[in-house]
């Protein structure tokens, strides 16, 4: 039987939502409250995580659990670990989806678990250890204890979980796929309402990789950043992948001035909003504006370098 409202009333993590979209699959969602969590000043926790909303997951079978990402705070990580322990779990594994702050910050609370990361995830966290310690708020870097490169299959109790490397959003992306349930855990490779573009030079690769992802026999998709109601009800359709491709194509159209650069986010993704492939969330207006600026800057630098 699925259970919702897992977090007891009055718990110290008063913004955390925890629910069970599928039997034995738990979602821990924090953010999208309309408020800031850490500071009114620019900082990664609010601007890259809390205001947009972040979901981490646990896949439980028997006495084993796999956590997908470490949470945006150590308190959330501790809550996840405590929750699965109360379900009878005695062996826990955690997988990093990629190296960004809002996916690794809670890891100090998970030091006694096996932590799996893609080889580039480990290298990037290692390289950024000192910078992470000086960030706002600071992050104590925890390196993966087990590495993989392209694919890895693990058994969690009676469940089979596949890890696949995809160069989408960042070059170290790890998605989880449950072949029996046909569930895809997307991390940041898919983001609703719009993907965050960190590296414009890789957008062609990202589109190719998204098309490769679409070849998996997916029934539903559970992202890190998306609508809590959609996640709670079982996740997104595979049209989410194609909507992401269309957004990238619009903002990176191979013309001097793409139409999408002067459009609002709602205008750019209007057809996908109407079809229900995406759900509009106003905080992504800022993400869209930053994406356009990032692509513009990249193109200008390219012209200067060519000249």
Whether the CB-CB separation of 161 and 144 falls below 8 Å is answered with no
Separation between Cα atoms, residue 147 and residue 152, nearest integer Å: 9
* Exposed e or buried b per residue across 251-282, where buried means at least 16 C-beta atoms within 10 angstroms of its C-beta: bbeeeeebebbebebeebbeebbeeebbebbe
The architecture that CATH gives domain 16-306 is 4-Layer Sandwich (3.60)
Tokens linked to 164: 């696949």
Which among 123, 109, 31 is positioned nearest to 70, based on CA atoms?
A: 109
> What is the per-residue pLDDT for 34?
85
pLDDT for res 14: 82
Per-residue pLDDT, 268 = 98
User: In b/e form, how buried is each residue of 153-174, taking b as 16+ CB within 10 angstroms?
Assistant: ebebbebebebbbbbbbbbbbb
- Give the SS3 label for residue 33: coil
- Is the entire prediction scored with pTM above 0.85? yes
Question: Which is it for the CA torsion 287, 190, 203, 135, positive or negative?
Answer: positive
Output the pLDDT for position 59. Answer: 98
Can the peptide bond before residue 102 be classed as cis, meaning omega within 30 degrees of 0? Answer: no
Question: Dihedral (C-alpha) 198, 199, 202, 204: value to the nearest 10 degrees?
Answer: 60
- The tokens describing 3, both together, are 């259970």
Question: Can you give the pLDDT of all 307 residues of the chain as single tens digits?
Answer: 344 545 444 445 688 999 999 999 999 999 998 888 888 889 999 888 999 999 999 999 999 999 999 999 999 999 999 999 999 999 999 999 999 999 999 999 999 999 999 999 999 999 999 999 999 999 999 999 999 999 999 999 999 999 999 999 999 999 999 999 999 999 999 999 999 998 999 999 999 999 999 999 999 999 999 999 999 999 999 999 999 999 999 999 999 999 999 999 999 999 999 999 999 999 999 999 999 999 999 998 875 444 3
Domain residue extents for the chain: 16-306
Give the model's pLDDT for residue 303: 56
User: Considering only CA atoms, which of 29, 36, 1 is closest in space to residue 192?
Assistant: 29
Considering Cα of 66, then 70, then 74, then 76, what sign does the dihedral take? negative
DSSP state of 118: E
Backbone angles phi, psi at 199, to 5 degrees: -135, 90
Name, in order, each residue with C-beta under 8 angstroms of 294's C-beta and a sequence gap of 6 or more. Answer: 197, 198, 200
Residue written as tokens 């809590």?
Answer: 228
């Amino acid at each position: 039987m699925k259970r919702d409202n897992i977090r007891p009333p009055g718990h110290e993590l008063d913004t955390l939502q925890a629910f069970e979209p599928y039997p034995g699959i738990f979602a821990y969602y924090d953010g999208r409250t309309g408020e800031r969590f850490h500071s009114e000043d620019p900082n990664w926790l609010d601007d890259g995580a809390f205001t947009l909303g972040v979901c981490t997951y646990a896949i439980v079978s028997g006495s084993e659990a796999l956590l997908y990402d470490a949470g945006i705070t150590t308190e959330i990580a501790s809550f996840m670990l405590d929750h699965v322990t109360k379900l009878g779990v005695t062996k826990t594994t955690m997988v990093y989806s990629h190296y960004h702050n809002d996916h690794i910050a809670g890891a100090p609370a998970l030091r006694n678990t096996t932590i799996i990361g893609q080889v580039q995830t480990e290298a990037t966290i290692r390289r950024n250890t000192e910078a992470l310690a000086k960030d706002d708020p600071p992050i104590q870097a925890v390196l993966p204890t087990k590495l993989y490169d392209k694919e890895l299959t693990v058994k969690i109790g009676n469940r089979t979980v596949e890890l696949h490397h995809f160069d989408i959003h960042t070059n170290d992306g790890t998605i989880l796929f449950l072949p029996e349930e046909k569930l895809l855990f997307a991390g940041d490779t898919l983001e609703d309402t719009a993907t965050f573009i960190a590296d414009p030079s890789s957008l062609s690769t990202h589109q190719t990789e998204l098309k490769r992802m679409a070849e998996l026999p997916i029934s539903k998709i559970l992202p890190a950043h998306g609508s809590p109601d959609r996640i709670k009800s079982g996740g997104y359709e595979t049209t989410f992948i194609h909507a992401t491709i269309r957004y990238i194509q619009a903002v990176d159209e191979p013309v001097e001035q793409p139409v999408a650069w002067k459009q609002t986010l709602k205008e750019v993704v209007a057809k996908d909003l109407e079809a229900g492939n995406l759900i509009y969330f106003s905080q992504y207006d800022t993400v869209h504006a930053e994406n356009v600026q990032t692509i513009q800057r990249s193109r200008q630098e390219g012209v200067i370098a060519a000249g």
